[in-house]
Amino acid sequence: MDLKPVREQAIEATTRFFWDHRGFVPDEDSEEWEAEYRRQFELAKERQKAAGPLVPAPDEARPQDETGWVALRGAPTEIRWAASLRAERLREIADRDIRHWLATTWTRSKSWLDTRELPTAIFLERIRPHYREYRKTMDERARAARAERAAQAAAAAEIRRQVEAAGISVEGLIELIDIAERLPALPIKAKLAELEAGERQLRVFDTADPAVLMVLEKSAGERSEYGIERDPGLVADLALFVRARASA
């Protein structure tokens, strides 16, 4: 079954249902719109089964909106008419934020066609509750984003504090590696850290042996590989150093 025409029919039927029964169309991201769309989708599927395959309208290039608004969706024969109606309607709305909301979220041509007879004052009265709900949702998302950024900043500051309190530095970590007993090389597993100081670049890896770490070092054009004892304190300092660098 070709579901594209079924989806188009369901979307159009959902829009028509809300205008006929409510006098407005909720945002397509709302739960009530989604619930009605699912109902209409199942009805459209049953109609297609009974009537046989539907032939979808050929895709046509949508006209470029010279104002930069989001392109309208719908039947190709309706898009130009709906775009004209949208432009005329938006010119009559003084509130810039409402204009932007309509231009970016009301992207179904059918929505503009279905409201063409409404005076602008009545149109605004019907959509204003949905705009307020949209603003509420956007404000809540903005607050959540600010809270998340604040939490991330606090976590990063705490990690930096721990690094400073422990006296961890690149030079100090390399010194701990240098004084560790050298062991035979082993196959590497997950990388624990990457350290660079001057001409020295060290990458530290886990190995299959829980008592051994592997170090791959590049210095002054030379490369070397060697194992060192897996010291829990060194591993903890490496992990904290990597977290601090990632949060910087």
Higher pLDDT: 145 or 221? It is 145
Give the per-residue pLDDT at 23. 65
Range 221-246 average pLDDT: 92
User: What's the CA gap between 220 and 244, in Å, rounded?
Assistant: 27
pLDDT score, position 55: 38
What is the phi/psi pair of residue 239, to 5°?
-65, -40
Token pair recorded at residue 213: 């770490």
In single-letter form, the type of residue at position 152 comes to Q
Which residue do the tokens 């775009």 mark? 83
In this prediction the pTM is: 0.51
Q: What's the mean pLDDT in 158-186?
A: 93
DSSP string, the chain: --HHHHHHHHHHHHHHHHHHHTSS---TTSHHHHHHHHHHHHHHHHHHHHH----PPPP-PPPP-TT-PPPPBS-HHHHHHHHHHHHHHHHT---HHHHHHHHHH--BHHHHHHTTTS-HHHHHHHHHHHHHHHHHHHHHHHHHHHHHHHHHHHHHHHHHHHHHHHT--HHHHHHHHHHSPEE----EEEEEEEEEETTEEEEEEEESSTTEEEEEEEETTEEEEEEEE--HHHHHHHHHHHHHHHH-
Residue 151: is its pLDDT beyond 90? yes
- Comparing 30-34, 66-70, 138-142, 161-165, which segment has the lowest mean pLDDT? 66-70
72: left (phi over 0), alpha (psi -120 to 50) or beta: beta
pLDDT digits (tens, 9 = 90+) for 77-134: 888 899 999 999 999 999 999 998 898 888 888 889 989 999 999 999 988 888 888 8
Helix (H) / strand (E) element for 62: namely none
